[in-house]
Amino acid sequence: AQTVTQSQPEMSVQEAETVTLSCTYDTSENNYYLFWYKQPPSRQMILVIRQEAYKQQNATENRFSVNFQKAAKSFSLKISDSQLGDTAMYFCAFMKLQSYSGGGADGLTFGKGTHLIIQP
Amino acid sequence: DGGITQSPKYLFRKEGQNVTLSCEQNLNHDAMYWYRQDPGQGLRLIYYSQIVNDFQKGDIAEGYSVSREKKESFPLTVTSAQKNPTAFYLCASSEWGPYQETQYFGPGTRLLVL
């Protein structure tokens, strides 16, 4: 079974600052994806970024980037130029792939989340 | 507009009652999932279905049941055997195929016990 750990229950930064959220995971699998999801007060889960384990290059999406360290089983999220709208719960999630070439997946395993507050 | 809809937004259950949460998607996704979220917790997987007429138990399936008679629909029934059903329930869907397994979520249903 996989486990995902987010060690920062809450973080607070000033608007326009850069913030890094931590995530570590434990698995014996070699073929998997990692995700960061954002959950604002509306409670809608929104995909932020995805990283495929077979890729060495870190994923980026505009102001969001990850630092994926496969050997260390670490997957941190960096938010640059933080904005008030970034205030939300952020969840790290793990997905094991059923087969390398055939696609398909089980469900996601989530961490407990980090509550990020962007102060004006 | 393509997306995932869940209804109702709020649902109240009396003791001993079964209730059904609806999840519909028009994204033509093959796979659908149900998760439960408790306060201060991440999401936990209840059931998932990768194709019509087939589904698998997740980590916390006890007290829940599902059906998948149509590709676009995956209803979740919370039975009277679920002793602590108060939670936020999220439905998700994804495509089936290499590199297309990203899950997208509906807006959720809040279930409260009277």
Q: Is the pLDDT of residue A15 over 70?
A: yes
CA distance B51 to chain A (A): 10
For residue range B60-113, what is the model confidence (pLDDT) as tens digits? 999 999 999 999 999 999 999 898 999 999 999 998 766 667 899 999 999 998
pLDDT tens per residue across span A84-108: 999 999 999 999 887 654 445 678 9
Across the interface, whether the CB atoms of B99 and A52 are under 8 A apart is answered: yes
Minimum distance, in Å, between the CA of residue A94 and any CA atom of chain B? 11
What are the CA-CA distances from residue B101 to residues A77, A96, B86 (Å)?
20, 10, 29
- The better pLDDT of the pair A105, A56 is held by A56
Q: Which residue among B45, B102, B104 sits closest to A107, beta carbon to beta carbon?
A: B45
Which long-range CB contacts under 8 A does A61-66 form with residues at least 24 apart? A64/A36, A66/A34, A66/A36
pLDDT at A104: 53
Look at residue B91 and give its three-state secondary structure: strand
Collect all residues of chain A within an 8 Å Cβ-Cβ radius of residue B23.
none
Closest residue to A113, CB basis, from B42, B100, B102: B42
